[in-house]
Amino acid sequence: MTPVTLDVTSASQIQRAAAEIDALDILINNAGIAIYDDLSSFEVIEQHFAVNFFGPLNMSRAFLPLLTRSKGAIVNNLSLVALAALPIIPAYSISKAAALNMTQSLRAISAGQGVMVHAVMLGPIDTDMNRGFEIPKAPPESAAAGIFDGMERGEEEIFPDPVSQSIAEAWHTGAAKGLERQFAGFVKAPAKTPV
């Protein structure tokens, strides 16, 4: 294990971390922020995009060469609000929706390199992020276990807690997933290495 600390909004810190790490099996893009807003502040929207969208995108780009070498995986911790806005945190919802769409493209582009890209569609989990918001929440430990179970099953979208599980079947068999598969077919397969 090589411990590194970095701010996912800093290109230079991401590059430094990528240079320090020799081998990587799984990149888990977990860093996130959620601020209550009403879409009136451009700055708040930008802050969400910096951490929740450009963070996982830039981390994935920086570590893709190592993951290609290990035939590893990227895990983007997203949210059910990527599928339907929670209007008390609209900027957060938009950033997670954008990150889901980005995850789909990254999945199609990385498939030829043997890298699996997962989206985790978390429901409410009992962490600092939603402290004070009194709704039923799953323990972080069980959500984490659910994520690894979903990876072992090879699920592209992982629904790791009771609230998210309630829509898993509808998502896996739904029109949006069907369209994603259809659109992914437009990505050119990499040229075969001559033998």
Ligand X SMILES: NC(=O)c1ccc[n+]([C@@H]2O[C@H](COP(=O)([O-])OP(=O)(O)OC[C@H]3O[C@@H](n4cnc5c(N)ncnc54)[C@H](OP(=O)(O)O)[C@@H]3O)[C@@H](O)[C@H]2O)c1
Q: Confirm or reject binding of residue 105 to ligand X (CB under 6 A).
A: no
Q: Confirm or reject binding of residue 67 to ligand X (CB under 6 A).
A: no
Query: According to DSSP H, which parts of 3-53 are helical?
Result: 11-20, 42-48
Token readout for 154 is: 């090879």
Torsion of CA 141, 27, 48, 155, to 10 degrees: -70
Which of 92, 137, 177, 192 is an active site residue? Answer: 92
Q: Confirm or reject binding of residue 8 to ligand X (CB under 6 A).
A: yes
135 or 175: CB nearest ligand X: 135
Query: Per-residue x/- mask for ligand X, residues 78 to 97, rule CB under 6 A?
Result: -x------------------
The C-alpha atoms of residue 36 and residue 130 are separated, in whole angstroms, by 10
124 or 150: CB nearest ligand X: 124
Checking 180-185 for CB contacts under 8 A at 24+ apart, the result is: 180/104, 183/104, 183/108, 184/104, 184/107, 184/108, 184/111
Spatial contact of 61 and 14, defined as CB atoms under 8 Å apart: no
Q: Which of 14, 17, 18, 32 binds ligand X (CB under 6 A)?
A: 32
Shortest distance (Å) from residue 56 CB to ligand X: 8
Q: Confirm or reject binding of residue 130 to ligand X (CB under 6 A).
A: yes
Residue 36 falls in the annotated catalytic set: no
- In angstroms, what CA-CA distances link 64 with 42, 69, 92? 31, 9, 26
Q: Confirm or reject binding of residue 109 to ligand X (CB under 6 A).
A: no
Q: Confirm or reject binding of residue 152 to ligand X (CB under 6 A).
A: no
111: Cβ contacts below 8 Å, ≥ 6 apart: 184, 187
Q: Which of 17, 57, 122, 147 binds ligand X (CB under 6 A)?
A: 122
Token readout for 84 is: 């339907």
Shortest distance (Å) from residue 76 CB to ligand X: 8
Q: Confirm or reject binding of residue 127 to ligand X (CB under 6 A).
A: yes
Quick one: which H or E segment has residue 27?
strand 26-29
The size of the interface with ligand X (CB under 6 A), counted in residues, is 18
Binding span for ligand X by CB under 6 A among 19-27, 63-71, 124-132, 168-176: 124-132
Mind telling me the catalytic residues?
Answer: 92, 96
